[in-house]
Structure 1
Amino acid sequence: MPENQNDPRHLETLDRDLARFSNLEAATSMVGRPMVGVGVSFIFVVMAGLAAMLFFGQASNSYIVIIAAGLGAYMALNIGANDVANNMGPAVGANALSMGGAIAIAVVFESAGALIAGGDVVSTIAKGIIEPERIGTADVFVWAMMSALLSAALWVNLATWVGAPVSTTHSVVGGVMGAGIAAAGFSAVSWGTMSSIAASWVISPVLGGAIAAFFLFVIKSRIIYQDDKITAARKWVPILVGIMAGAFGAYLALKGLKKIIKIDMPIALLIGLAIAVIAWLIMIPVTKKQSIGLENRNKSLKVLFGIPLVVSAALLSFAHGANDVANAVGPLAAIVDVSQSGDFTSAFSIPLWVMIIGAFGISFGLFLFGPKLIRMVGNQITKLNPMRAYCVALSAAITVIFASWLGLPVSSTHIAVGAVFGVGFFREWDAERRLRKARVAMPDRPQYAPEERRRRKLVRRSHFMTIIAAWIITVPAAAIMSGVIFFLISSFVS
């Protein structure tokens, strides 16, 4: 007897089968997403090699430049996946930007910074990390730069996979150092430069965290803890936005315009001061208008910090693209220059097609793999709102200006993540301080057990330890990997 198609039992079986197919499709989609990213990345690396072939296809050593272009593209992808999260993470974590909006802004401003203000002259062999005279021959130099590029890219890739924001600058530095030691021994390394870089491991996050904590203290004491929060905000928000505008103005004048005009620190500070005053005057009526009708509570204050936070994220991306794209394409530019001239002891410039590889690679890496680190920086270290995220962005600009004035080499990654830690630890200190005051005022109030107090910590200690460990081992890990890769390449070509 044929089965009744209208039998309820048949319909239930059909629903279960369709549900299985739906689950299978969902699972296939989830598994397939990472493969799409890997596939697109592979295509981009191949296209970078093809671009190099167009420019150097007739040269006798064109295969070297083609391979180096692929490695530069791979490094740029990893910078986009890891480093850019530091600029966008706070804005996303504070819900001032959606993930899609953050990626779109970062792609535009990172590329603009790289192509408009990037590509200045790169000093010999990664800013004097090793002495070129000790390398020997141009071929040895090329193998050393390729080893540095590959090791740095592999290390940043591994750090992204485990969810640790690391300094791509320090990764390249470690790669160059390791290849230099493998090629010419420990005497080839400029240990004075390396000592300064090692000092920045401590200086960058501590300075960024302290400045971010200070501005959060100002916001809390002058606005949040006031009886009339809206009136206080009308006075202090224009001042804070003026400080931010001035800091970014000085930062971009100092760093972003160096291809067009040489600006020293005093002139940059004067430009920043003028911009700060103008922004302060503009924001007085704007803040007054925005605050009309707002309730006298903390949640209302978030509206006043939303737009400045988005603008700061865009400006940070521009500055990052202008400065850090050289991490991806600096060694590649060195290989291209040496392949053409044979001279590896003088400074070299970055060709436009090499800059385009770096800019597009950073954008693709951010779009394909960036959300993981954006969520880490924005949500998983400590909880951010627009006021706290604003302090992080402001700290990043001021710290770089202050470090440039002192001549200290600092890492944008360490500054931004250190600022997030600073905000989180200040919140813990402030919460503990207010709790002690409450105990004095109400001694009979029940107290939390030690286990409960540890659970209520506002900074996740597991993420803190993972990131600090990754920072400490970045240079030695990249150096060891680079040395091993250099020996493998040397044994293969010899």
Structure 2
Amino acid sequence: MPDAALGVLILIVALAIGLGFVNGMNDAANAIATTIGSRVLSPRAAIIMAAFANLAGAATGTAVAATIGKGILHPEFISFSVIIAALMAVVIWGGLATYFGLPISLTHGLVSGLAFAGLAAGGFDAVNLAVMGRIISAVVTAPMLGFVGGFILMLGVYWLFKDSLPARLRAIFSNGQILSAAFMAYTHGKNDGQMPIGVITMALVIYSGNAGLWEGIPWWVIIVSAAAISSGTAIGGWRVMKTLGFRVTNLKPAQGFVAQTSAASVIELASNLGIPVSTTHSMSAAIMGVGATRRFSAVRWSVAGNILTAWLVTFPICGAIAYAVASILKLF
């Protein structure tokens, strides 16, 4: 007789791969939109580079995966149905947002999905409020750091190169932006790429009853998760890319380099601390900060407003879907 639990485990792995794939498609823009927007790399070259850098980042460290997998909910309330509900919520919303060209935070979608699925399963006792508090504080601080970092670093570049010819400036930062884009893609994989690793390991712990897996996550989990997010990046979310690369503000190589460096630095710090943050928030805010150094009207604030709206509705939408699915699964 078939093992029903094994079937559910396979379903969760498939949904986690879907999460990584959609995440790569939507967040591909974060790593390479400015590089394409400033015309340093062709879209194809930028996507290939980002896919490999994402793969490297997703295979480096598991601190964020541990936070996702055993930090948001107390272990006794984690179940197959909770994981499935959270994954379905973020895959559905992430797919819709990518289709309509909205850069959103898949990270916050998963966090919200897990929290609300846990609420449906066990009430407020299921949620680790201390960890959620750190994540929610990062919702505010990460984009703030991205904006301020982009603004200050851009002013520094203007001052250092104030006597340089435009052609020399472009030559310097065209090469620099390739490196900053690779750094951005690497940190994206190191933070967002940990999400499918975290949820697959959650499911494996439930299936095997071996919590020690968190001390040595199987390599196949890391490879499958990294491949999923890299595949999504390779296919690319072209509508999202257009929004960040061309519609928020006009970007030249120097602006693109600064925005990517600022955002990637914030994400790298958060990854080392095990805090899941939004690559979308950090990158979008850094682009706005860079654009604001010319003048505030250089930023298309109506586009920025649409991005902000998408950020805000991600929490309740993913939470509502996850809560509904978890409540239905609880009946069975």
TM-score by length of 1: 0.62
The equivalent residue for 1:209 is 147
Question: 1:304 is matched with which residue?
Answer: 172
User: What's the CA shift string for 1:70-128, capped at 9, x where partnerless?
Assistant: 1112111111111232111111111111100011101222123324x245694376342
Aligned twin of 1:471: 311
Query: Where does 1:63-462 land on structure 2 (aligned, <5 Å)?
Result: 63-115=7-59, 117-119=60-62, 122-123=65-66, 126-133=69-76, 135=77, 141-224=79-162, 226=163, 229=164, 297-341=165-209, 347=214, 349-400=216-267, 410-429=277-296, 457-462=297-302
Q: CA deviation at 1:171?
A: 1.2
Query: How big is the shift at 1:325?
Result: 1.6
Q: Secondary structure at 2:39's aligned position in 1? A: coil
Task: Write the letter of the residue equivalent to 1:312.
Answer: S
From the superposition, tell whether residues 68 and 216 of structure 1 become closer, same or farther in structure 2 (CA, over 3 Å): same
Q: 1:154 to 1:349 in 2, by over 3 A?
A: farther
Aligned length: 332
Query: Distance between the aligned counterparts of 1:202 and 1:112, measured in 2?
Result: 28
Cα drift, residue 199 of structure 1:
2.1
Aligned to 1:487: 327
Amino acid at match of 1:71: L
Change (3 A) 1:367 1:345: closer
Deviation at residue 173 of structure 1 after TM alignment: 0.6
Aligned AA for 1:132? P
Give the superposition deviation at 1:412: 2.6
Tell me if the contact between 2:16 and 2:87 (Cα under 8 Å) persists in the aligned partners: yes
The share of aligned pairs that are identical, in percent, is 30
Residue aligned with 1:382, SS = coil
SS in 2 for 1:164: coil
Bigger radius of gyration: 1
Give the Cα separation in 2 of the matches to 1:330 and 1:407: 12
| Deviating more after overlay: 58-67 vs 305-314 | 58-67
**Alpha-carbon contact 1:205-1:419 (below 8 Å) kept:** yes
Q: Distance in 1 between matches of 2:189 and 2:309?
A: 26
Using the alignment, how far apart are the partners of 2:22 and 2:269 within structure 1? 28
State the alpha-carbon separation in 1 of the partners of residues 46 and 68 from structure 2.
34
Does 195-204 or 463-472 show the bigger shift? 195-204
Note closer, same or farther for the CA distance 1:125–1:197 as it changes in structure 2 (3 Å cut): closer
Is the contact between residue 119 and residue 349 of structure 1 (CA under 8 Å) also seen in structure 2? no
8 A Cα contact 1:180 1:188, kept in partner = yes
Give the counterpart letter for 2:19 in structure 1. Answer: M
C-alpha distance 419-124 of structure 1, shift in aligned 2 (>3 A): closer
Instruction: Provide the rounded CA distance (Å) in 1 between the counterparts of 2:94 and 2:312.
Output: 14
Read off the aligned partner of 1:334 and give its amino acid letter: M
1:67 counterpart SS class: helix
Using the TM superposition, give the Cα deviation of residue 462 of structure 1 relative to its aligned residue in structure 2, in angstroms: 2.3
Structure 1, unaligned runs of 5 or more: 1-56, 230-296, 430-456
Cα distance in 1, alignment partners of residues 81 and 315 from structure 2: 19
1:26-84 per-position Cα deviation (integer Å, ceiling 9, x unaligned): xxxxxxxxxxxxxxxxxxxxxxxxxxxxxxx9755221112112111211111111123
The question of whether the paired residues in 2 share the 8 Å contact of 1:82 and 1:165 is answered with yes
| Structure of greater relative contact order (alpha carbons < 8 Å, 6+ residues apart) | 2
Distance 1:403 1:75 in 2: 21
Q: Distance in 2 between matches of 1:387 and 1:121?
A: 31
Alpha-carbon distance in structure 2 between the residues aligned to 1:385 and 1:172: 34
Q: CA deviation at 1:306?
A: 1.1
Aligned to 1:438: none
The 2-side partners of 1:403 and 1:330 are apart by 16
Q: Which letter maps to 1:413? A: T
Alpha-carbon distance in 1 for matches of 2:255, 2:330? 50
Which runs of 5 or more structure 2 residues have no equivalent in the other structure?
none
SS in 1 for 2:293: helix
Partner Cα separation in structure 1 for residue 254 and residue 194 of structure 2: 32
